[in-house]
Amino acid sequence: MTLPVRQPSPYGHFLWGTAISGHQSEGNNLNSDIWLAEHVQPTVFSQPSRDACDSYHRYAEDISIVADLGLNCYRFGIEWSRIEPEPGQFSAAELDRYARMIDLCVERGIAPMLTYSHFTVPRWFAARGGFEVPDSADLFARYAEVVTRRLGEHVVAATPFNEANIQRLMRTLLPNPAARPVIDAMLAACAKQCGSARFSSLLFAEVEKTEAHLVDAHRKATQAIKAGPGNFPVGVSLTMQDIQGIGENNLAGAVIDSLYGPWLDEAANADFIGVQTYTRVRVDAQGHVSPPADAEMTEAGYEYYPQALGSTIRFAAKRTGKPVYVTESGIATSHDTRRVAFIDAALNELQNCIADGIDVKSYIHWSLLDNFEWSSGYSQHFGLVEVDPTTFRRTPKPSAHHLGAHARRSLEAAR
């Protein structure tokens, strides 16, 4: 596919990338809230993350794979709990490791895109109340400031949070009242282990208790990042599924309001909106409608529906008036031919959006590696690259080369 030339950049006209998060790939993220939650009883995690993909040690190999595929962007998360393992105590060595990742990206012609917090927070932060306490925003902004001072120079784009509306997604699209008592008991067990009265995880907290502070944290962190060094766009990343209303008096509008809350307005005041889309959700006047009986389902339990990307890009651009970075698009499947088909269909949607004049700046596929899929453990395969769980040997799948070929063609055509 050929995309129009937009702006001079050492990385070309369009960012073709793949993404990963720290906790899901690095392994042994011992100081994070999620590591603790994986190990208490009861827990909602089907298995612990353990070594994950050992990207903590094998990041150079990962970056080489991205470069060899022909992609020009790598979106990765940095782990707050490694960088600030105790309040106010910042690790120069851990920051150096992320700096080496960025240097390697630059050497290989890959644009580094940073996520400051991909769902995880330090254990100490959760134990003092997480984002339920007002000064949490200042602590997050302080971390963002320290990180940017060390890493900002070569960063190409960033989002403070991955999917700032994640708590809303859980409540709106994945309501599971039976899970709440288990989550509460898990968090109580975490608090006990920490010897604290509470334990609040970003991933499991309730919207009403955290959202005002999350918005404040997002704004303050954006300001801290903008102070530099580096001069790159900072956006709002959102989980955005294609909400389709069916029939009269359908509840699509209410579901959309409930999924996004204040975050579309926040994105309208940011440099860009980061669109992260996986499927569609159909809603009638009663509520959610199951996928059609003959629908193909992915390993993640939802409908295979790559067309969702086009609608969410259009919705995001219209509602915010901002450039769109597709920061995640992907499919969980063990049948790689379905991933190839998914990529083609999603890119077709993206190309139509660009042809209609929408300013889309990236396509970043989730994920580089088969990795730790949160409470589902290692049972879902989102990766372009297979990872052997004991040797950590990486084997790119045909879909990885397929995406790389799209990128090469597009980047060469724009030269």
Give the binding site for ligand BGC (CB under 6 A): 21, 24, 162-163, 239, 276, 300, 328, 366, 373, 382
Question: How far is it, in rounded angstroms, from Cα 368 to Cα 194?
Answer: 34
The nearer residue to ligand BGC, 163 or 303, going by C-beta atoms, is: 163
**Least gap, CB of 414 to ligand BGC (angstroms):** 28
**Least gap, CB of 328 to ligand BGC (angstroms):** 6
Alpha carbon separation from 123 to 79, 81, 185, 268, 301 (Å, rounded): 12, 7, 17, 32, 30
**Least gap, CB of 225 to ligand BGC (angstroms):** 19
By DSSP bridging, strand 242-245 and strand 157-161 are: unpaired
For 382, residues 6+ apart whose C-beta sits below 8 A from its C-beta are: 330, 331, 332, 366, 367, 370, 371, 373
How many other β-carbons are positioned within 10 Å of the β-carbon of residue 142?
Answer: 17
**Least gap, CB of 106 to ligand BGC (angstroms):** 24
Question: Could you give the 3-state DSSP secondary structure of residue 341?
Answer: helix
**Least gap, CB of 24 to ligand BGC (angstroms):** 6
Alpha carbon separation from 257 to 183, 253, 320 (Å, rounded): 25, 6, 14
The nearer residue to ligand BGC, 303 or 328, going by C-beta atoms, is: 328
The nearer residue to ligand BGC, 51 or 153, going by C-beta atoms, is: 51
The nearer residue to ligand BGC, 82 or 128, going by C-beta atoms, is: 82
**Least gap, CB of 165 to ligand BGC (angstroms):** 10
Question: How far is it, in rounded angstroms, from Cα 201 to Cα 121?
Answer: 7
How many Å is the Cα radius of gyration of the chain? 20
Q: Are 200 and 128 in contact (CB under 8 A)?
A: no
**Least gap, CB of 83 to ligand BGC (angstroms):** 19
Q: Which residue is nearest to ligand BGC (CB)?
A: 162
Q: CB-side exposure of 109: number of CA atoms within 13 Å?
A: 16
Question: Could you give the 3-state DSSP secondary structure of residue 157?
Answer: strand
**Least gap, CB of 1 to ligand BGC (angstroms):** 24
How many other β-carbons are positioned within 10 Å of the β-carbon of residue 262?
Answer: 15
